[in-house]
Structure 1
Amino acid sequence: MEELIDLKRIFGAINRGKWYILGAIGLCVCIMSIYLWFGATPIYQSKTQVLVNQVDSKDSSIQAQDVQANLQLVDTYSAIVTSPRILKEVEKELSNKYSQTELANAIQVSNNSNSQIIEIAAEYTNAKDATAIANKTAQVFERQIPNIMKVDNVTILSEAQYSKTQAPVKPHKSLMLGLSFVVGALIGAMIIFVQTIFDRTIKNVDDLQEALGLTVLGTVNAFEPDQMETEKSFERRKIINEEKNRSEAISRIQ
């Protein structure tokens, strides 16, 4: 049987179970904070840029053709950067400190649309190592291109710079904490939702009318034990006083 839960009941359930939401949020944020500050490995990034430049020519039409040809070669050059031939040479020149697999995972190549600039980024757990990998990759790439493509049209525009105060790019702490907050809120809301769906207890008159389909004509307030004892004591004192007054009245008449 389908059940319709109105907005009033939903907001009432959320209000009653708000501590579940707050508790779930606090737990998720706490766990994420412990992971970010004590468990996660910081990743640093360094970038260098190389230019695929046109061959010098006095003929402007030939110049334009060279530029267009270089633009078309950018994608090819981007693939060459991470090719085994380049990575093997980088590995060798870095004293075999990193394997080709590590270098392939660390190096990222990108370029903007219609741009002759290729950006080589290296990500590693140490900022100094990331800088060394990025710069060495660019240098080897520039030196090997004439042998591979038979044309010397690659120039290093800017080298990666190492800084002791460089901040890690991963993990994104603010993003991860925000995500844990949302996950905690969703978990708390799910707990409240499940409780509301499977809760069959009668909490008020509206629940009684909805469950039985009957109209409630009146209600009897619940009395606490202390309140009931107080009422009984009051009634006894009232009866005793009435009896005493009646006795005094009879005595005066006699």
Structure 2
Amino acid sequence: MEETLNLEDILDVIKSSALMIAIMTLLFGCIAAFGTLFFITPQYESNTQILVSQSQQSEVIDNQDIQASLQLVNTYRDIIKSPTVLDDVIQNLNLEESTEAVSNKINVTNQDQSQVLTVTVTDESAQRAEDIANEIGTVFQEKVTEVMSVDNVSVLATADVGENPAPVSPQPVINIAIGLILGLLVGLGIAFLKAFLDKRIQSEEDVEKYLDLPVIGTVAKFK
């Protein structure tokens, strides 16, 4: 006889294993909270904005100058993360990190058709993230003149993390929520696996359901 699982069966499985499901949910939530608080190092972000404009020697701004600046944005993004800039940043700030390690902390973005580059630095120290971001802006402004022979870059906004910066990661609420959901899914999985593997007949309803036979009598259990 082919077994079918209806809503009533699902509710019975959940009801019979409710305690185990609750324990698994809380256990995974606690693991997520413990791991977030004690094993994940907080990370801070700091941003500086760099404006790519027309040449400072030009007195008239036209559409051709703007389009030329926009075309240079991708090139400038690569230059910012290149050893040409980062080696000087590391040396000026006396950082004990490799160029590749510092480059991995940097994310350079810009909105579509925008001449503003946003340099975001992520670091375990909020102050160090601010220092690196500001130093990148300073060094890049100097280096781009040498590398590209242009003077169309200026720092629009310096990085400032403030007096009491908040870490951008980890996010305890999200991590704990993920832990709770994962624990719930694991608990449900174990409950349904247990019910699927348990082939014992334990009640009159099971006899009628699985054997398709009528129950004509029962024998009481004596102690």
State the Cα deviation string for residues 73-115 of structure 1 (Å, max 9, x = none): 1111111110111111111111243321221121111111110
Shift of 1:173: 1.5
1:135-146 matches, cutoff 5 A: 135-146=134-145
1:232 match: none
Please tell me the residue identity of whatever aligns with 1:95.
N
1:79-118 matches, cutoff 5 A: 79-118=78-117
Do residues 40 (structure 1) and 40 (structure 2) align?
Answer: yes
User: Which protein is richer in helix relative to its size?
Assistant: 1
Structure 1 pair 58–102 and aligned structure 2 pair: CA distance change class (3 A): closer
Shift of 1:4: 1.7
Paired-residue identity, %: 35
1:229 match: none
Moved more, 135-144 or 196-205: 196-205
1:70 match: 69
Distance, in Å, in 2 between the alignment partners of 1:119 and 1:93 is 21
State the Cα deviation string for residues 1-42 of structure 1 (Å, max 9, x = none): 853222211110001101121111111111111111111100
Q: Contact 2:107/2:119 (CA < 8 Å) preserved in 1?
A: yes
Distance, in Å, in 1 between the alignment partners of 2:16 and 2:100 is 54
1:76-225 matches, cutoff 5 A: 76-219=75-218, 222=220, 225=223
Please tell me the residue identity of whatever aligns with 1:163.
G
Distance, in Å, in 1 between the alignment partners of 2:202 and 2:8 is 14
Unaligned runs of 5+ in 1: 226-254
Unaligned runs of 5+ in 2: none
Shift of 1:51: 0.4
State the Cα deviation string for residues 149-207 of structure 1 (Å, max 9, x = none): 11110110111113331011011211111111110010001001101110112232221
Distance, in Å, in 2 between the alignment partners of 1:32 and 1:200 is 35
1:245 match: none
State the Cα deviation string for residues 194-239 of structure 1 (Å, max 9, x = none): 011101122322211122221224445x4664xxxxxxxxxxxxxx
Q: Contact 2:55/2:150 (CA < 8 Å) preserved in 1?
A: no
Q: TM-score, normalised by structure 2?
A: 0.93
Distance, in Å, in 2 between the alignment partners of 1:187 and 1:127 is 38
Number of residue-to-residue matches in the alignment: 222
1:3 match: 3
Distance, in Å, in 2 between the alignment partners of 1:36 and 1:115 is 37
Distance, in Å, in 2 between the alignment partners of 1:7 and 1:96 is 62
3-state SS in 2 of match to 1:174: helix
1:23 match: 23
Q: TM-score, normalised by structure 1?
A: 0.82
- Higher-RCO chain (CA-CA 8 Å, sequence separation at least 6): 2
Distance, in Å, in 2 between the alignment partners of 1:142 and 1:148 is 10
